[in-house]
Structure 1
Amino acid sequence: MIVGIGVDVVDIERFRAQLERTPALLERLFVPAERGLPTRSLAARFAAKEAVAKALGAPAGMNWQHCSIAVDESGAPSVVVEATVADAARARGIQAWHLSISHDGGLATAMVVAEGSSGTTG
């Protein structure tokens, strides 16, 4: 059962400029494994994290470090959650994440589907 969905679009050039203006954002928004990626990939991961937040209903207290985007050997992205984000997902009954990300034409886009059981798990 679909428990939540989220989508987000990021202007890559605007995102790059924001990172240049506020260098601390890199550490605030991304885990160490993500930080060395090209700006277009960072923008796509940020869009994915925003989409996760939307699928969760934008819970208060969500820490950006508790959501990261991994890529398997075939290049498929996946959502990795822990601590505050995992707690919010558990409360919504989310058991699996489905993620699609893309960047082209100056935009980065992400779509997330949260799958699980309805209601809280306690």
Structure 2
Amino acid sequence: MMDVQGIGIDLVEIHRIREMLERHGQRFKERTFTAGEMAYCDACADPAMNYAARFAAKEAVAKALGTGIWAEGVIWTDIEVVRAENGKPSILLHGAAKIHAGEATCLVSLTHTKDLAMAQVLLA
């Protein structure tokens, strides 16, 4: 049986991430996303949609951890969304996020429409 330690969900308006990318560009990307996330999103047909889904995932993980972002040492790049060869997303934790999670695993589900991106995370 799985021992659930936390759950988090987040919904992001894609136009807000698109605006951040247009206004702050590389500075926003480097503060919020890992090199691997940037490489993946920048190669997509609509990078903003994929950045938004990853942003939602990071928020959802922070909620599942119970720390939030910038609290208890957790920063954006401590939470990384990676993809398996078959496209299945998963979460890698680094730094303070990894310390707070301990041995727990993050399970993640991402979805998006033309306007919204959402992520749900289960910390078990």
Q: Pick the TM interval, shorter chain.
A: 0.7 to 0.9
Give the C-alpha shift of residue 22 in structure 1.
Answer: 2.0
Return the TM-score normalized by structure 2. Answer: 0.85
Paired residue type of 1:72: A
Which of the two has greater helix per residue?
A: 2
Sequence identity percentage: 39
Q: Does 1:33 align with 2:43?
A: no
Residues 89-113 of structure 1 show CA distances to partners (whole Å, capped at 9, x for unaligned) of 11xxx52111000111310000000
5+ residue gaps, structure 2, are 42-46
* Correspondence for 1:47 among 38, 56, 76: 56
Aligned residues: 112
* Superposed counterparts of 1:62-77, under 5 Å: 62-77=74-89
Paired residue type of 2:31: R
Misfit runs of 4+, over 4 Å: none
Residues 17-73 of structure 1 show CA distances to partners (whole Å, capped at 9, x for unaligned) of 022222211100000111141110110001000000000112422121111000101
For 2:65, the equivalent position in structure 1 comes to: 56
Which of the two has greater strand per residue?
A: 1
Return the TM-score normalized by structure 1. Answer: 0.86
CA distance in 1: counterparts of 2:122 and 2:57, whole angstroms: 11
CA RMSD between the two structures:
1.2
Bigger Cα displacement from structure 2, 101-110 vs 57-66: 57-66
